[in-house]
Amino acid sequence: MKRHIPNIITLLNVFCGCVATVFAVLNQLEYAALFVCLGIIFDFFDGLAARVLDVKSELGLQLDSLADVITSGVVPGIIMFQMLAMSIKGGWNVSLPNTSSGLAFFSNWDGSTVLPFCGFIITMASAYRLAKFNIDENQTSSFIGLPTPANALLILSLPLILMYHAEAGLNEILMNQWFLIAVTILSAFLLNSNIELFALKFKNWSFKDNALRYIFIIISIVLLISMKFLAVPLIIAFYILSSLIKGKEAIE
């Protein structure tokens, strides 16, 4: 029975990804964000359960990536499609009746341009990154390229920043279609780059052996408490920068 526990947890990630997709399409971004976060939590604990129970399997590895394609690939692609469509149509202030948050996404796309579909470059890049991960034996204690859950949080933070940190200058930047395209391209690059990033996998609880992980978690918590959704892009940048510094020190 215990060998099925990690897979059941992974299937909960699949469920969360499906629900998040529905909410994203229905323009309920707070709920979409909630279920993406729940899915990422399940994504963390399925691997932990497999290691603790010593029931790692090839099936679990494949299932985990399939779940991530939904939660951390499809949902971010939809979000970017929506934001690009809105930026082209009229910006953040566009609204429709019967939308609780006042954000009209898919309804902003009138078919006059295919540019919003560029958002699904994120989905394709995520799927490619996960396929590479499945056949790469060098990503056991670290990651090569930005993990899809981290990228999903980065993309999902953009509309949430607009919703909860409304400032004219910031809105103008985040609703600029060329900025969004740049973010899309950067996202696809980071997902499939050769940058080695540390993994939040604890083999023990020693501070000496996990100093960077503890420091990263503490700083992330402080940033989230003080800056809320604005903290997410900063945390991702800090994650990449600290990994690069660690890698440089290891070489020296």
Structural domain total, the chain: 1
Angle at 183 between CA 39 and CA 64, to 5 degrees: 25
Specify the pTM: 0.86
What's residue 30's pLDDT?
84
Give first-to-last CA distance, the chain, whole Å: 47
What's residue 162's pLDDT?
87
Pick the closest to residue 104 from 119, 88, 117 (CA basis). Answer: 88
Q: Assign residue 242 the CATH number of its domain.
A: 1.20.120
What's residue 140's pLDDT?
65
What's residue 145's pLDDT?
92
Residue-range definition of the domain harbouring residue 199: 2-251
pLDDT tens for the chain, 252 residues: list them. Answer: 777 888 899 999 999 999 999 998 887 878 898 999 999 999 988 877 877 777 778 888 889 999 999 999 999 999 999 889 888 876 654 443 344 444 444 555 666 678 989 999 999 999 999 999 888 777 666 889 999 999 999 999 998 998 888 777 888 889 899 999 999 999 999 999 999 998 877 666 777 777 888 999 999 999 999 999 999 999 999 999 988 887 655 544
Q: Are 159 and 180 in contact (CB under 8 A)?
A: no
What's residue 95's pLDDT?
41
